[in-house]
C-alpha cells in the first residue's frame, strides 16, 4: 500500500510500549517503515524489531522512573500499546493498562519535543465510561504503586472483565481530560479504541466475556487485526493530526456505531 512506503514519520523518534507482540509490534514495524526511529518497551526481551529496546515492568513505579531516566530526550511520539487482558490479576491489569501508563506518560513529557503526539490504545471495552464517572474520578490521582489498594477499596476485580473495562474507561476519560494540558508546547494526546483484535490475548477476552463475546462475534464480519489498528496510531503520531486533541477514535468494524444505533433506536 502507498502509505506503507510514505515517509510519514521520517526523522521522528517514537516510543512504543508493548512493542513485542500484537498491536504494539505492528505499530513498531509500521513506524519504522514510515521513517521513524523506534524505541521499544516491553517486559519481554526482543531487539530485532526496533532501533533500541528497553525492558521494563509497567506495574512498578521505580522501574517506570528508571525507564524514564534511561530513555533519551527528543521524543516525538509515544504509543501506549502495552496492555494486559482481563484474565490477569486485577491489580496488574489496572497498573499496566492505566496507572503505569499515566506514570510513564507524565514522566516523559519533559523529554518530549514541542509538537509531540501521545496515542493511547484504549478499547471498545471503554465505551461505557460515562457510567463510571465516580470511580474514574476516584482514580485520577492514584499512584501506580497504590493500585492494589485502590482496586480493593472500589471492589474492582476480574469478574466479568471489570478490571479491564474500568482501565479502558478511565483511559478514554484521561485522554479527553488532557486535551489541552500541554497545549502551550503543542503536545497532544488522543486514543484509539479497537474492537476485538486477533492478537495473542484474544482468547483471554473470549474466555472472560463468554456469551457476550459470542453475541458480538455474530454481529461482526470478522475480528480486527493489528494491521487494521497500527495505521491509525501512526496517523495520529504524524504531523497530519496536530489539531486532533483529546479524541477517541473507534476502530472496531462498526461495533460502537451499532451500540449507539441500538441505544437510540436507529437500528435498521
Alpha-carbon dihedral sign for residues 185, 186, 191, 192: negative
Question: Is 211 part of any domain?
Answer: yes
Closest by alpha carbon to 233, among 178, 179, 194? Answer: 194
pTM for the model: 0.93
Of the candidate ranges 91-95, 148-152, 229-233, 258-262, the one whose mean pLDDT is the lowest: 258-262
Instruction: Tell me the residue length of the chain.
Output: 268
Which pLDDT score is estimated for 7? 82
Question: Is 26 part of any domain?
Answer: yes
- Model confidence over 187-212: pLDDT tens digits? 999 999 999 888 766 676 666 665 56
Q: Percentage of the chain with pLDDT > 70?
A: 90
What is the grid cell recorded at 147?
Answer: 493500585
Rounded CA-CA distance 168/174 in Å is 10
- Model confidence over 84-93: pLDDT tens digits? 999 999 999 9
Question: Is 131 part of any domain?
Answer: yes
- Model confidence over 24-39: pLDDT tens digits? 999 999 999 999 999 9
> Which CATH number covers residue 10?
3.40.50.720
Which pLDDT score is estimated for 199? 73
Q: Look-up: residue for cell 459470542?
A: 214
Of the candidate ranges 75-79, 177-181, 196-200, the one whose mean pLDDT is the lowest: 196-200
Q: Which residue has the higher pLDDT, 169 or 7?
A: 169
Which pLDDT score is estimated for 3? 47
Torsion of the alpha carbons at 45, 98, 171 and 265, rounded to the nearest 10: 100
Which pLDDT score is estimated for 221? 82
pLDDT band of residue 108 (cuts 50, 70, 90) is: very high
Mean pLDDT of 98-122: 98
Look over the chain and give the mean of its residue pLDDT values, rounded to a whole number.
92
pLDDT band of residue 151 (cuts 50, 70, 90) is: very high
Structural domain count, the chain: 1
Mean pLDDT of 45-57: 89
Which pLDDT score is estimated for 46? 78
Residue 195 exposure: Cα atoms within 13 Å on the Cβ side? 20
Which pLDDT score is estimated for 210? 58
Which pLDDT score is estimated for 219? 78
pLDDT higher than threshold 80 for residue 58? yes
Question: Is 268 part of any domain?
Answer: no
Range of the domain at 18: 2-263
pLDDT higher than threshold 50 for residue 1? no
Which pLDDT score is estimated for 109? 98
The set of residues, in sequence order, having a beta carbon less than 8 Å from that of 113 and lying 6+ positions away, is 74, 75, 76
Question: Is 73 part of any domain?
Answer: yes
Amino acid at each position: 500500500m502507498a502509505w506503507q512506503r510514505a515517509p510519514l514519520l521520517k526523522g521522528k523518534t517514537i516510543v512504543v510500549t508493548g512493542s513485542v507482540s500484537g498491536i504494539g509490534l505492528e505499530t513498531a514495524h509500521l513506524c519504522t517503515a514510515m521513517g521513524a526511529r523506534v524505541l521499544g518497551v516491553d517486559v519481554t526481551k526482543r531487539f530485532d524489531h526496533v532501533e533500541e529496546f528497553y525492558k521494563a515492568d509497567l506495574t512498578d513505579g521505580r522501574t517506570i522512573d528508571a525507564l524514564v531516566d534511561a530513555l533519551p530526550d527528543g521524543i516525538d511520539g509515544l504509543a501506549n500499546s502495552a496492555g494486559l487482558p482481563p484474565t490477569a490479576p486485577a491489580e496488574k491489569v489496572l497498573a499496566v493498562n492505566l496507572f503505569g501508563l499515566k506514570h510513564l506518560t507524565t514522566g516523559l513529557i519533559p523529554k518530549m519535543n514541542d509538537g509531540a503526539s501521545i496515542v493511547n490504545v484504549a478499547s471498545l471495552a471503554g465505551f461505557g465510561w460515562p457510567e463510571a464517572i465516580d470511580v474514574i474520578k476516584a482514580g485520577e490521582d492514584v499512584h501506580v504503586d497504590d493500585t492494589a489498594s485502590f482496586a480493593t477499596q472500589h471492589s474492582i476485580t476480574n469478574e466479568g472483565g471489570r478490571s479491564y473495562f474500568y482501565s479502558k474507561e478511565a483511559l478514554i476519560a484521561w485522554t479527553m481530560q488532557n486535551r489541552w494540558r500541554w497545549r502551550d508546547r503543542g503536545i497532544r494526546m488522543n486514543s484509539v479504541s479497537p474492537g476485538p483484535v486477533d492478537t495473542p490475548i484474544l482468547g483471554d477476552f473470549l474466555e472472560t466475556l463468554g456469551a457476550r463475546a459470542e453475541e458480538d462475534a455474530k454481529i461482526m464480519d470478522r475480528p480486527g487485526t493489528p494491521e487494521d489498528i497500527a495505521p491509525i496510531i501512526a496517523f495520529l503520531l504524524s504531523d497530519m493530526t496536530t489539531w486532533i486533541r483529546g479524541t477517541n477514535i473507534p476502530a472496531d468494524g462498526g461495533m460502537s456505531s451499532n451500540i449507539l444505533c441500538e441505544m437510540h433506536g436507529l437500528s435498521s
